[in-house]
Amino acid sequence: MKPVKTSGYFKSLYKRTNVIKETLLDLFFGIGSGPRLLLEVFIRRNFGERYFSFSTAIFLLVILAIVPAFSQYGFAIFSKVRMSYYQFNLFSFLFKNLTWYLFLGGFFYCCLERRKEVKSLPSVFDMKRYSKSTGIIHAEFRKLKFGGQLVETRTIETLIEPAFFFVIGFVLWVLDQNVGNLLMICSVIYSLSYKAAYHQGDNFIMDQIDEMICGEELSAVFVDNKKPEEARGFSFYGHRPVNYQTRRRVAETFFEKEIVEVL
Protein backbone atom coordinates (compact mmCIF):
# COMPACT_ATOMS: atom_id res chain seq x y z
CA MET A 1 0.00 0.00 0.00
CA LYS A 2 1.10 3.54 -0.74
CA PRO A 3 0.85 6.38 1.85
CA VAL A 4 -0.58 9.13 -0.34
CA LYS A 5 -3.39 10.39 1.91
CA THR A 6 -1.26 11.32 4.90
CA SER A 7 -0.10 14.63 3.43
CA GLY A 8 -3.42 16.28 4.19
CA TYR A 9 -3.18 15.34 7.88
CA PHE A 10 0.44 16.45 8.00
CA LYS A 11 -0.15 19.84 6.39
CA SER A 12 -3.26 20.68 8.39
CA LEU A 13 -1.85 19.74 11.79
CA TYR A 14 1.90 20.15 11.67
CA LYS A 15 2.34 23.26 9.54
CA ARG A 16 3.78 25.83 11.95
CA THR A 17 5.22 29.11 10.71
CA ASN A 18 6.88 32.18 12.18
CA VAL A 19 4.71 34.81 10.51
CA ILE A 20 7.07 37.74 11.12
CA LYS A 21 10.14 35.83 9.95
CA GLU A 22 8.37 34.43 6.89
CA THR A 23 7.01 37.87 5.96
CA LEU A 24 10.42 39.54 6.21
CA LEU A 25 12.14 36.80 4.23
CA ASP A 26 9.45 36.90 1.55
CA LEU A 27 9.85 40.68 1.40
CA PHE A 28 13.60 40.54 0.83
CA PHE A 29 13.18 37.66 -1.61
CA GLY A 30 10.67 39.73 -3.56
CA ILE A 31 12.67 42.96 -3.67
CA GLY A 32 16.03 41.23 -4.08
CA SER A 33 15.90 40.85 -7.86
CA GLY A 34 17.13 44.34 -8.72
CA PRO A 35 19.89 44.64 -6.09
CA ARG A 36 21.13 41.15 -6.93
CA LEU A 37 21.21 41.99 -10.62
CA LEU A 38 23.29 45.10 -9.93
CA LEU A 39 25.97 43.00 -8.25
CA GLU A 40 25.79 39.55 -9.81
CA VAL A 41 26.66 40.69 -13.32
CA PHE A 42 30.14 41.61 -12.05
CA ILE A 43 30.97 38.29 -10.43
CA ARG A 44 28.89 35.65 -12.22
CA ARG A 45 28.41 34.41 -15.74
CA ASN A 46 26.19 32.10 -17.80
CA PHE A 47 22.84 33.14 -16.35
CA GLY A 48 19.62 31.44 -17.35
CA GLU A 49 17.71 33.41 -19.96
CA ARG A 50 14.69 33.76 -17.68
CA TYR A 51 16.87 34.84 -14.75
CA PHE A 52 18.87 37.55 -16.47
CA SER A 53 16.78 40.32 -18.02
CA PHE A 54 18.63 42.86 -20.15
CA SER A 55 15.57 45.12 -20.32
CA THR A 56 15.38 45.18 -16.51
CA ALA A 57 19.08 46.00 -16.40
CA ILE A 58 18.59 48.97 -18.74
CA PHE A 59 15.63 50.17 -16.67
CA LEU A 60 17.77 50.07 -13.51
CA LEU A 61 20.57 51.84 -15.34
CA VAL A 62 18.33 54.72 -16.40
CA ILE A 63 16.79 55.10 -12.94
CA LEU A 64 20.16 55.05 -11.19
CA ALA A 65 21.60 57.54 -13.68
CA ILE A 66 18.94 60.03 -12.61
CA VAL A 67 19.14 59.39 -8.85
CA PRO A 68 22.23 61.51 -7.99
CA ALA A 69 20.95 64.70 -9.64
CA PHE A 70 17.39 64.17 -8.46
CA SER A 71 18.41 63.47 -4.86
CA GLN A 72 20.36 66.73 -4.76
CA TYR A 73 18.08 69.03 -6.76
CA GLY A 74 14.77 67.17 -6.98
CA PHE A 75 13.16 69.14 -4.14
CA ALA A 76 13.45 72.39 -6.11
CA ILE A 77 11.61 70.88 -9.07
CA PHE A 78 8.51 70.07 -6.99
CA SER A 79 8.52 73.18 -4.83
CA LYS A 80 8.09 76.94 -5.19
CA VAL A 81 11.63 77.53 -4.04
CA ARG A 82 13.76 79.01 -6.77
CA MET A 83 16.17 76.66 -8.47
CA SER A 84 18.87 79.28 -7.95
CA TYR A 85 18.71 78.42 -4.25
CA TYR A 86 20.21 75.07 -5.22
CA GLN A 87 23.08 76.35 -7.30
CA PHE A 88 24.66 73.57 -9.29
CA ASN A 89 28.25 72.92 -8.31
CA LEU A 90 29.83 70.72 -10.96
CA PHE A 91 32.98 70.00 -8.96
CA SER A 92 31.05 68.96 -5.85
CA PHE A 93 28.63 66.86 -7.91
CA LEU A 94 31.40 65.02 -9.76
CA PHE A 95 33.47 64.52 -6.61
CA LYS A 96 30.66 62.61 -4.94
CA ASN A 97 29.16 60.90 -7.98
CA LEU A 98 31.95 60.21 -10.47
CA THR A 99 32.41 56.71 -9.02
CA TRP A 100 28.63 56.28 -9.19
CA TYR A 101 28.66 56.76 -12.96
CA LEU A 102 31.82 54.69 -13.34
CA PHE A 103 29.96 51.89 -11.55
CA LEU A 104 27.00 52.28 -13.91
CA GLY A 105 29.37 52.18 -16.89
CA GLY A 106 30.87 48.94 -15.61
CA PHE A 107 27.40 47.59 -14.94
CA PHE A 108 26.31 48.31 -18.51
CA TYR A 109 29.43 46.67 -19.94
CA CYS A 110 28.94 43.55 -17.81
CA CYS A 111 25.27 43.36 -18.82
CA LEU A 112 26.29 43.35 -22.47
CA GLU A 113 28.72 40.51 -21.77
CA ARG A 114 26.12 38.52 -19.86
CA ARG A 115 23.62 38.98 -22.71
CA LYS A 116 26.18 37.61 -25.19
CA GLU A 117 26.71 34.59 -22.95
CA VAL A 118 22.97 33.90 -22.66
CA LYS A 119 22.61 34.02 -26.45
CA SER A 120 25.56 31.68 -26.98
CA LEU A 121 24.46 29.05 -24.46
CA PRO A 122 22.59 25.88 -25.51
CA SER A 123 18.86 26.31 -25.98
CA VAL A 124 16.59 25.74 -23.00
CA PHE A 125 14.00 24.31 -25.40
CA ASP A 126 16.35 21.41 -26.10
CA MET A 127 16.60 20.77 -22.34
CA LYS A 128 20.27 21.70 -22.39
CA ARG A 129 19.97 24.53 -19.93
CA TYR A 130 18.03 25.55 -16.83
CA SER A 131 16.31 28.79 -17.81
CA LYS A 132 16.32 30.22 -14.27
CA SER A 133 19.97 29.50 -13.51
CA THR A 134 21.51 32.08 -11.18
CA GLY A 135 24.78 31.75 -13.02
CA ILE A 136 28.23 30.31 -12.33
CA ILE A 137 29.93 31.50 -9.15
CA HIS A 138 33.33 33.13 -9.71
CA ALA A 139 36.20 30.64 -9.50
CA GLU A 140 38.08 32.71 -6.90
CA PHE A 141 35.21 32.35 -4.44
CA ARG A 142 35.22 28.59 -5.02
CA LYS A 143 38.86 28.45 -3.91
CA LEU A 144 38.21 29.96 -0.49
CA LYS A 145 38.72 27.68 2.50
CA PHE A 146 37.66 27.83 6.12
CA GLY A 147 39.05 25.40 8.67
CA GLY A 148 40.85 23.56 5.89
CA GLN A 149 37.60 22.92 4.00
CA LEU A 150 36.33 24.58 0.87
CA VAL A 151 33.55 27.04 1.63
CA GLU A 152 30.07 25.77 0.78
CA THR A 153 27.97 27.36 -1.95
CA ARG A 154 25.44 28.46 0.64
CA THR A 155 28.09 30.43 2.56
CA ILE A 156 29.40 32.00 -0.64
CA GLU A 157 25.97 33.20 -1.73
CA THR A 158 24.66 34.37 1.63
CA LEU A 159 27.85 35.78 3.13
CA ILE A 160 31.01 35.98 1.03
CA GLU A 161 29.63 37.48 -2.18
CA PRO A 162 27.59 40.19 -0.43
CA ALA A 163 30.45 40.86 2.04
CA PHE A 164 32.79 41.44 -0.92
CA PHE A 165 30.59 44.28 -2.19
CA PHE A 166 29.81 45.54 1.30
CA VAL A 167 33.51 46.08 2.05
CA ILE A 168 34.00 47.91 -1.25
CA GLY A 169 30.92 50.00 -0.53
CA PHE A 170 32.10 50.81 3.00
CA VAL A 171 35.47 52.03 1.72
CA LEU A 172 33.76 54.24 -0.87
CA TRP A 173 31.36 55.53 1.77
CA VAL A 174 34.30 56.52 3.97
CA LEU A 175 35.70 58.38 0.96
CA ASP A 176 32.39 60.28 0.74
CA GLN A 177 31.29 58.51 -2.45
CA ASN A 178 27.53 58.09 -2.85
CA VAL A 179 27.95 54.80 -4.69
CA GLY A 180 29.22 53.33 -1.42
CA ASN A 181 25.73 53.63 0.08
CA LEU A 182 24.25 51.91 -2.96
CA LEU A 183 26.69 49.00 -2.77
CA MET A 184 26.17 48.47 0.96
CA ILE A 185 22.37 48.53 0.69
CA CYS A 186 22.38 46.17 -2.29
CA SER A 187 24.81 43.80 -0.58
CA VAL A 188 22.58 43.52 2.51
CA ILE A 189 19.49 42.82 0.37
CA TYR A 190 21.59 40.39 -1.71
CA SER A 191 22.48 38.41 1.41
CA LEU A 192 18.96 38.39 2.86
CA SER A 193 17.35 37.41 -0.44
CA TYR A 194 19.62 34.37 -0.73
CA LYS A 195 18.98 33.51 2.91
CA ALA A 196 15.26 33.59 2.09
CA ALA A 197 15.79 31.29 -0.89
CA TYR A 198 17.73 28.78 1.20
CA HIS A 199 15.15 29.02 3.97
CA GLN A 200 12.42 28.06 1.50
CA GLY A 201 14.55 25.21 0.19
CA ASP A 202 15.23 23.90 3.69
CA ASN A 203 11.53 23.96 4.54
CA PHE A 204 10.67 22.14 1.32
CA ILE A 205 13.10 19.29 2.09
CA MET A 206 12.03 19.06 5.74
CA ASP A 207 8.37 18.92 4.66
CA GLN A 208 9.14 16.01 2.33
CA ILE A 209 11.04 14.14 5.04
CA ASP A 210 8.35 14.79 7.66
CA GLU A 211 5.61 13.63 5.30
CA MET A 212 7.56 10.41 4.68
CA ILE A 213 7.89 9.82 8.44
CA CYS A 214 4.21 10.64 8.90
CA GLY A 215 3.26 8.10 6.23
CA GLU A 216 5.56 5.42 7.63
CA GLU A 217 4.62 5.84 11.30
CA LEU A 218 0.97 6.87 11.17
CA SER A 219 -0.47 3.38 10.97
CA ALA A 220 1.61 2.00 13.86
CA VAL A 221 0.92 5.04 16.05
CA PHE A 222 -2.81 5.00 15.29
CA VAL A 223 -3.39 1.26 15.46
CA ASP A 224 -0.79 0.02 17.97
CA ASN A 225 -0.62 3.10 20.21
CA LYS A 226 3.06 3.47 19.46
CA LYS A 227 4.63 6.20 21.62
CA PRO A 228 6.38 9.25 20.05
CA GLU A 229 9.78 8.11 21.33
CA GLU A 230 9.24 4.85 19.44
CA ALA A 231 8.02 6.58 16.26
CA ARG A 232 10.82 9.11 15.61
CA GLY A 233 8.89 11.78 17.53
CA PHE A 234 5.68 11.45 15.53
CA SER A 235 2.35 11.68 17.37
CA PHE A 236 -1.27 11.27 16.35
CA TYR A 237 -3.73 13.85 17.67
CA GLY A 238 -7.38 12.85 17.79
CA HIS A 239 -9.79 10.26 19.14
CA ARG A 240 -9.18 6.67 18.09
CA PRO A 241 -11.68 3.77 18.08
CA VAL A 242 -11.36 1.58 21.15
CA ASN A 243 -11.63 -1.66 19.19
CA TYR A 244 -8.32 -2.78 17.65
CA GLN A 245 -9.88 -4.22 14.49
CA THR A 246 -11.82 -1.01 13.92
CA ARG A 247 -8.60 0.98 14.21
CA ARG A 248 -7.01 -1.27 11.60
CA ARG A 249 -9.90 -0.79 9.21
CA VAL A 250 -9.75 2.98 9.67
CA ALA A 251 -5.97 2.96 9.20
CA GLU A 252 -6.40 1.21 5.85
CA THR A 253 -8.19 4.30 4.57
CA PHE A 254 -5.00 6.30 5.16
CA PHE A 255 -3.43 4.50 2.22
CA GLU A 256 -4.21 3.77 -1.39
CA LYS A 257 -3.54 0.39 -2.83
CA GLU A 258 -1.34 0.28 -5.88
CA ILE A 259 -3.07 -1.35 -8.83
CA VAL A 260 -0.81 -3.78 -10.66
CA GLU A 261 -1.76 -4.34 -14.28
CA VAL A 262 -1.27 -7.87 -15.57
CA LEU A 263 -0.31 -8.00 -19.24
Compute, in degrees rounded to 10, the torsion defined by CA atoms 245, 248, 252, 255.
180
Confidence band of 129 (pLDDT split at 50, 70, 90): confident
- This prediction has a pTM of 0.79
Give the residue from 43, 197, 41 showing the smallest Cα distance to 118: 41
Rounded-to-integer distance, Cα 189 and Cα 157, Å: 12
| pLDDT reported for residue 139 | 93
Kindly state the average pLDDT of the residues 176-189.
94
Per the DSSP assignment, residues forming a β-bridge with 2 are 256
CB 108 within 8 A of CB 65: no
Which of these ranges, 109-123, 125-139, 191-205, 217-231, has the smallest mean pLDDT?
A: 217-231
Query: Domain map of the chain by residue range?
Result: 6-143+150-252
Segment 76-93, tens digit of pLDDT: 444 545 545 455 566 777
